[in-house]
Amino acid sequence: MSKIQIITDSMVDLPKDIIEKYNIVVVPLTIIFEDKEYTDGVDLTNKQFYEKLSQAKNLPKTSQVSPNTFMEVFKKSLDDDKEVLCINGSSNASGTYQSAVIAKNSLENDDIEVFDTMGLSFGAGIFVYKAVNMAQEGKSLKEIVNKLNDMKSNVDHIFTVDTLENLKKGGRLNPMKATIATMLNIKPILTVVDGLVEPLDKVRGSKKVVSKMIELAKQRGGNFENKIIGISHANSPDTLSILKESVINELNPKEVLVTEIGCTIGTHAGPGTLAIFYITK
């Protein structure tokens, strides 16, 4: 048993089996549809979310985790004689990281570390996966945080969305850049820079998207033989299986982790999103 409790938020889209295996505490953000508020992953599953999204007139809103919620979660772990490492999705995309920092400062306890991944979806989750593995190996809180800091500039996101509308409406993408890409059947390929979405490339027509993503991963990621690749999808299992097959055949990674894009990221990225995440070096 590790003496470090890893805590994260629902922006990181961790696979359920990993959450259970490593006893990770996931603190959910709130999803607000017109009719009511839901707790991401608790009273709103991914499946229910995408169903509601397809019927909603307006985009739902997401609401960050409050400092009080983090304080309660941190206290519970401290009471269990655990050190706390809270790993959050990008501080540039949500105030959730800031809430965790406020909670840490309020508790004035040196056994709490809060880490800003500047990543989104499993681009943040890959830090959590690294941290839980290091904690299992008996590494100290300081060693883990140092390793995560080393990784920070080396985690790559390559993803595509079915429509740029959600990113534009949610203020996660420059409206001008979005408008240009919505022209004739251009499929954008995006990345995350400094915790925010940036265009990376584009292809005409959706058939070419997966091969382009693989090509970009080869250029940006080099050799994958000793690497873990995370792949995820927003309510599009068929395209996911095409991506998975291509990743295994073309990149030959050590391990492929498959995850779903949950309610929080799904609000901004929209259904049909497909993503690859990995550590470049």
Q: Domain spans of the chain?
A: 4-151, 154-279
Least confident window among 1-10, 130-139, 182-191:
182-191
Whether the CB-CB separation of 40 and 30 falls below 8 Å is answered with yes
Residues constituting the chain: 281
Q: What is the mean pLDDT of residues 87-108?
A: 95
pLDDT score of 7:
98
pLDDT above 70: residue 177: no
What 194-199 contacts at long range (C-beta under 8 Å, 24+ apart), as own/partner pairs, is 194/92, 194/118, 195/90, 195/91, 195/92, 195/93, 195/116, 195/118, 195/119, 195/120, 196/90, 196/92, 196/93, 196/172, 197/120, 197/167, 197/172, 197/173
pLDDT score of 55:
87
pLDDT score of 266:
92
Q: How confident is the prediction for the chain on average, in pLDDT?
A: 91
CATH number of 4-151: 3.40.50.10170
| Span 209-246, pLDDT tens digits | 999 999 999 999 999 999 999 999 999 988 999 999 99
| Span 122-157, pLDDT tens digits | 999 999 999 999 999 999 999 999 999 999 999 999
pLDDT score of 197:
86
CATH architecture of 154-279: 2-Layer Sandwich (3.30)
Query: Which one has a higher pLDDT value, 202 or 168?
Result: 202
| Span 50-70, pLDDT tens digits | 999 888 888 899 999 999 999
